[in-house]
Amino acid sequence: MSTIERALKKQGGKPVDSKLPADNIKQNKPKQNNNYIHIDIDMLAENNMVTNRTERSRINEEYRFIKRKLIINAFGKTSHLLKNPNIILITSTVPNEGKTFTSINLAMSIALEQDKTVLLIDADVVNPSIGHELNYQSTSGLLDYLLGTVDDIGEVIYSTNIDKLKLLPAGSRHHLTHELLTSDRMEKLTTELASRYPDRVIILDSPPLLGVSETQVLASLSGQGIIVVEESKTKTASISEAIKLLDPEMAIGFILNKSNEGKRREKGYNYGYGNYYGL
């Protein structure tokens, strides 16, 4: 049974998008064409991720809390103290602690704000995985633009069925990612992306900090950084080591992910969601 059929069954046959704000979602679009990626909202809901469904969910509430301080840092009175305050780096000490999960949830949550737009960039050039999580085919993106095989960045920025959310995939794999990310072209691109729209938040789903030099390059372009910490797993010494790699001028926060407190055993769901502290 397909996801849509399952959802229809659950709702007693009502159209699947009947609960969704009509102006915020376009259904029946092709999954992916030249400049469009369709995000499967049912799949996000099934994975207990942030969605634009109208009913209150715990994850939506948690990300409301998380995004508030980030938005104030990006657009509030003291935003001028940060370089590129609206660029938010999502990183962790080592892989698999939940960077991509956090990036997608945060992007969805901020895109639901009335007056904000979001560009979610798959900047984990070492292990790009937003495509895997959102179920779109690997496609050209950031690295192709940096290599010059794509001239106009607009060609690799994809609209989605969430009006205020756009995606920039990582693009073709390349062995010189460090050099590409430290290039003038990358510096110009981030400045341009950060300043083109005054209401835009840019989220960089990035590689881990320890042992991956590219992450520091991305951090140097970002005004804010979030370190995703996995409860009972991330080592305190690794966190200290990771923080030392970041610019002290950056606004740094933490998300405690997969917390025991948040476990949803009743749904057979083995992970919890983060408490947020810091910033």
Ligand X SMILES: Nc1ncnc2c1ncn2[C@@H]1O[C@H](COP(=O)(O)OP(=O)(O)O)[C@@H](O)[C@H]1O
Residues that bind ligand X (CB under 6 A): 92, 95-101, 129, 257-258, 271, 273
- Number of residues near Mg ion (by CB under 5 A): 4
- In angstroms, what is the minimal distance from the CB of 94 to ligand X? 8
Residue 257's binding partner out of ligand X, Mg ion, none, with CB under 5 to 8 Å set by partner kind: ligand X
Q: Which is nearer to Mg ion, 101 or 158 (CB)?
A: 101
Q: Which residue's CB is nearer to ligand X, number 96 or number 159? A: 96
User: Is residue 100 near Mg ion by the rule CB under 5 A?
Assistant: yes
Choose the one of ligand X, Mg ion, none that binds residue 96, judging by a C-beta under 5 to 8 angstroms depending on kind: ligand X
Nearest-5° Cα angle at 240, 237 to 244: 140
Contacting Mg ion within 187-216 (CB under 5 A): none
99-111 and 58-75 helices, crossing angle to 10°: 80
Nearest-CA neighbor of 203 among 109, 127, 77? Answer: 109
Partner that binds at residue 105, options Mg ion, ligand X, none, CB closer than 5 to 8 Å by kind:
none
* Min separation Cβ 236 and ligand X, Å: 18
Identify which of residues 73 and 100 has a Cβ nearer to Mg ion in the complex. Answer: 100
**Shortest CB 20 distance to Mg ion, Å:** 27
As a whole number of angstroms, the distance between CA 92 and CA 228 comes to: 5
Radius of gyration of the chain (CA): 18
Give the residue with the Cβ less far from ligand X, 101 or 158: 101
Specify the residue, 95 or 187, whose C-beta has the smaller distance to Mg ion. 95
* Distance in Å, CB of 202 to ligand X, minimum: 17
Which one of Mg ion, ligand X, none is in contact with 172 (Cβ closer than 5 to 8 A by kind)? none
Q: Smallest distance from the beta carbon of 159 to Mg ion, in angstroms?
A: 22
Distances from the Cα of 169 to the Cαs of 34, 192, 253, 266, in angstroms? 13, 17, 25, 35
Q: How far is the CB of 212 from Mg ion (least distance, A)?
A: 12
Q: By C-beta, is 122 or 144 nearer to ligand X?
A: 122
Which long-range contacts link 14-22 to residues 24+ away (Cβ below 8 Å)?
A: 16/42, 17/41, 19/53, 19/54, 19/55, 20/52, 20/53, 20/54, 21/52, 21/54
- Give residue 184's Cα distance to chain centre: 24
Out of Mg ion, ligand X, none, what residue 214 binds, judged by CB under 5 to 8 A for its kind, is none
- Chain position carrying tokens 């990582």: 170
Nearer to Mg ion, 85 or 225 (CB): 225
Pick from 229, 221, 179: which is nearest to 204 by CA?
221
CA dist 123 → 10, 47, 233 (Å): 36, 23, 24
Rule CB under 5 A: which residues touch Mg ion? 99-100, 124, 129
